[in-house]
Chains A and B, each alone.
Chain A
Amino acid sequence: MSVTFKAITTENGKGLFHLFPALCKGCGLCIEKCPVDTIGWAKQLGAFGTPVVEPGHGKPCIACKKCQLVCPDAAIWIERRDGKGRDTSLTAAPEKHVQHK
């Protein structure tokens, strides 16, 4: 991957909530799909000058990754804090970390 995106990482519940403000357009689809209502609007602004999302508004995150799946812009990545975890991809592709100095 030739480009990199900066993440805002929030620890919440069982997951690390990585949010990429350069990708988030503030559509709110993830807020509606969250089963524990932990996602809500943040103060930070995203790609279109609209608020981005953050966890910590309802019950703690259960790392179900529904928000990651439903995001049309791939702006969310949920990492499980216990390290194990189901595959991040629908197709069990290996996780892509980008190493940089």
Chain B
Amino acid sequence: MAIAAQPQMPRVWRAETKPHKFCPGCGHGIVLKALGEAIDALDIQERTIFGCDIGCSLLSWDFFNLDTVQTHHGRTTPVLVGIKRARPELVVVSYMGDGGAYAIGAQHLVSSASRNDLVTIIVVNNTVYAMTGGQMAPTTLPGQKTETTPYGRDARLTGRPILGPELVAAIAPPGAYVARGSIANIVQLKNFIQKGLQNQLEGRGIAFIEALSSCPTNWHTNAAATWRFVEKEMTAYFPVGELRTPEEKPSGRFQEVPPYES
């Protein structure tokens, strides 16, 4: 009997589908590692539903040993809110990319935030539409070169990048948890996701976590340039940290409306 070294994957990962379908250096693997560790820490594998969106995030459909549903752009959130309302004992995780969440499916995010639905939303922001070949996304940084902005994004023509967590934090009622993490700090990102899942477990309201991620394939960067872009340029525009915590006092604009419970 020899004890062979085995990869240290989170328990909730499915080892038989590894290596996973993402490109080399993709940040999805790191975000899903943080999510897997958070699910392991809370021991909720048996009652978690994982929903993935259109885009690169759908490649995570066989990533976990969880019941998984894959829906259309941004509709992951309403589909999972429906599951949550029918089966309130479940924990639902809506996993989207920035294209699905902020561009094509933004109305679902806004409606869900204003309803304060009991759902944990994770948006992976890599500043491009990665699956279709690296076109400009709402989160593309000013001056960043993509397939459709070969001279760099011009903010006068196409506006400023969307700040998703700030948007949700502005409209979500009290009880919401909103944070932005980064793959450059995995332990912090895992703590944010765990707090987001905890917020749903305690029935306080919506949890929204944006994760700054990498796309070496479409950025055309090597490892050093990838880290430089994530740690320097992206965090300069997208500040990392918690924006809303459920402990804070409700401001006068919102009446006390508890989240929907069936």
Contact = CB atoms under 8 A, between A and B. Distances in A.
Interface of A: 1-7, 9, 16, 18, 20, 22-23, 25-29, 31-33, 47-48, 50, 68-75, 77, 79, 88-91, 93, 95-101
Nearest to A78: B8
Contacts of A47: 19
A32 B224 contact: yes
Interface of A is mostly: loop
B4 A70 contact: no
A33 B186 CA distance: 13
A48 B216 CA distance: 15
B226 interface: yes
Contacts of A101: 1-2
Chain B, interface residues (CB within 8 Å), range: 35 or more
A97 B3 contact: yes
Nearest to B1: A99
Given A33-B227, A97-B3, A73 B19 contact: yes
Interface stretch (B21-29, B123-131, B170-178): B21-29
What are the 3 A-B residue pairs with the smallest beta carbon separation, nearest first?
A72-B29, A27-B25, A28-B223
A64 B35 CA distance: 22
A54 B29 CA distance: 21
Contact of A74 (B33, B40, B226): B33
A37 B22 CA distance: 26
Contacts of B27: 72
Given A2-B15, A23-B18, A28 B6 contact: no
Given A20-B7, A73-B29, A91 B37 contact: yes
B28 A72 contact: yes
B10 interface: yes
B108 interface: no
A89 B41 CA distance: 10
